[in-house]
Structure 1
Amino acid sequence: MVWSPAQYLKFEDERTRPARDLLAQVPDLPEGIAFDLGCGPGNSTELIRDRFPGATLSGLDSDENMLVAAAKRLPGITFEKADLANWVPPAGASLFYGNAVFQWLPNHLTIFERLMGALASGGTLAVQMPDNLGEPSHLLMEETARSPAFADAFAGKTVRRNPMPGPATYVECLAPQAASIEVWHTIYYHRLANAEAIVEWVKGTGLRPYLDALPEDKRDAFAADYTDRIRAAYPAMSDGKVLLRFPRFFIVAVKA
């Protein structure tokens, strides 16, 4: 799957706010490298740099386009290509920060255990994951994929990401290695120009796997069908704008 930094950053302010909210709950860091995992185009890395200006900082991502954009944005920071599903973290890290990345990895509970084990005492695992599979924006992706016009193209393919377990599962996973754990949900309401703006938003993330799974000559038709469904699900307000409801799940765990 290839990601587009330009598409992702069309809604940079809205996407960066949860990253900022997550970072605000991270306590002071011990000595050690701070890692931005799934750094994307560097917007979250920039926040970490500004919050902890004395820290040694490294950004990781699996997508070459995102890494190029991040390095251009922050030339003084080290960025490297890595697959977080099997990346082996170095011991003694001060921070593992993952904003909107781990929802894509089915085995992220195992990864969290590995990351906690690699933190220095007093180091922090900070994670934010969209928890929006039950929202119309995502339910309608599946509905469109199952419709007669596209069902054959998706036959035998799994493109929907796995549902997340409940908060207690994360607490139980992290507790054996943690001095403290905080978990919470925040629901953001984004006021967007119209239904088409919602589609542009999800083209940068959740809709991308569906479009990539289709033959190129079916992608525009899929997007058009999906847009019609979004328009019905998100009626315009009196000013013509629409409100996108977006739940997100947060974890901040400090190593014992």
Structure 2
Amino acid sequence: MRHPPGQEDGVVQWDPDLYERYRLLRERPGRDLLNAIPEVTVRSAIDLGCGTGYLTRQLVNRFAGAHIIGLDSDDAMLAKAAAVPSRIDWQQADIGDWCPSEPVDLIFSNAALHWLPDHTTLFRRLVGFGAPGGLLAVQMPDNFAAPSHLLLKELTQREPWRDSLSGALDHSAVLAAADYWRILRPYCQTVDIWYGDYLQVLEGDDPVLDWVSATALLPVIAHLPPTQAADFTQSYRLALRKAYPKEKEGSTLFPFRRIFILARI
């Protein structure tokens, strides 16, 4: 799945329950991507960064009879995915190392590829694994200019965390839509790219912190000893409260932008 840099072993441990706290909101862009896929014959499909598998199971419902693989690097996520009976072939591996034994009709990835570097090489590699006439369907967060991510980056550059967090955070992987079009067009019949802005309505005392604690905050906390991690989180909490104040009725609005890519190989 998403494989951000971690501590000495280089691996961040994901928390499936925390990640799914806002499951419906996290799932919606993936369902929108799935609904954008045209009616095509799919004999084989893979969900890169499948997480707990809720979208992988929707691939099974959409493409009856197809061989479906759910691939993720995190054992806790895969364990939760495999706990639900299905005919999905769950596989543990890093997306960057994935190489299919034969071309795949549908390469699907929801909110995972932004963790990987060098998207020029990555996307060319992925379309090279697709069968002729097959599809590459990708959704990624593109919210890195939002206060949630700018504040996080700013805090990593402050003392006493700066030295420990040097290189821990990289928000530069996701490219502009035109860049992806230029990367993919020489290898694909068609390339369709669009953005979606989701006005997410969150509940709770610190809902934006809860949201990012399951994703964007992970590689930062993994680089800090417990005391510094707690202090960093508290500073981030206070900054997020100012950036995302509660509405009069108690909800917190958390706008979130995402990029969608649908290419026919």
TM-score band, normalised by the shorter chain? Answer: over 0.9
Equivalent residue, structure 2, for 1:13: 24
Q: Which residue, out of 176, 196, 206, partners 2:186? A: 176
Equivalent residue, structure 2, for 1:59: 70
Equivalent residue, structure 2, for 1:204: 214
1:165 positional shift = 1.9
Contact 1:93 1:123 survives alignment (8 Å):
yes
Equivalent residue, structure 2, for 1:242: 252
Structure 1 residues 63-72 or 22-31, which shifts more?
22-31
Corresponding residue SS for 2:95: coil
In structure 2, how many angstroms separate the alpha carbons of the residues matched to 1:169 and 1:91? Answer: 28
Distance change (3 Å), C-alpha of 1:128 and 1:31: closer
Corresponding residue SS for 1:24: helix
Contact 1:195 1:242 survives alignment (8 Å):
no
Q: Which consecutive unaligned segments of at least 5 residues does structure 1 have?
A: none
Q: In the alignment, does 2:46 pair up with 1:38?
A: no
Equivalent residue, structure 1, for 2:233: 223
Structure 1 residues 161-170 or 127-136, which shifts more?
161-170
TM-score by length of 2: 0.91
Q: In the alignment, does 2:82 pair up with 1:71?
A: yes
In structure 2, how many angstroms separate the alpha carbons of the residues matched to 1:222 and 1:117? Answer: 42
1:69 positional shift = 1.1
In structure 2, how many angstroms separate the alpha carbons of the residues matched to 1:241 and 1:143? Answer: 26
1:163 positional shift = 4.2
Q: In the alignment, does 2:113 pair up with 1:114?
A: no
In structure 2, how many angstroms separate the alpha carbons of the residues matched to 1:236 and 1:31? Answer: 45
Matched to 2:56, the amino acid is: T
Mapping of 1:151-190 within 5 angstroms? 151-154=162-165, 156-190=166-200
Can you list the C-alpha shifts for 1:167-200, whole angstroms capped at 9, x where unaligned? 1111111112212111000010111124611111
Can you list the C-alpha shifts for 1:119-168, whole angstroms capped at 9, x where unaligned? 222211000010011111111111222233423432x3332332422111
Q: Which consecutive unaligned segments of at least 5 residues does structure 2 have?
A: 1-11
Q: Percent identity?
A: 37
Contact 2:29 2:139 survives alignment (8 Å):
yes
Q: In the alignment, does 2:242 pair up with 1:232?
A: yes
Distance change (3 Å), C-alpha of 1:229 and 1:118: same
Corresponding residue SS for 1:185: strand
Distance change (3 Å), C-alpha of 1:47 and 1:117: same
Contact 2:33 2:260 survives alignment (8 Å):
yes
Higher relative helix content: 1
Runs of 4+ in 1 over 4 A off after TM superposition: none
Matched to 1:116, the amino acid is: V
Paired residues in the alignment total: 254
Contact 1:124 1:254 survives alignment (8 Å):
yes
Q: In the alignment, does 2:164 pair up with 1:150?
A: no
Q: Which residue, out of 73, 89, 93, partners 2:100? A: 89
TM-score by length of 1: 0.94
RMSD: 1.5
Corresponding residue SS for 2:71: strand
Corresponding residue SS for 2:191: strand
In structure 1, how many angstroms separate the alpha carbons of the residues matched to 2:30 and 2:85? Answer: 17
Matched to 1:55, the amino acid is: A
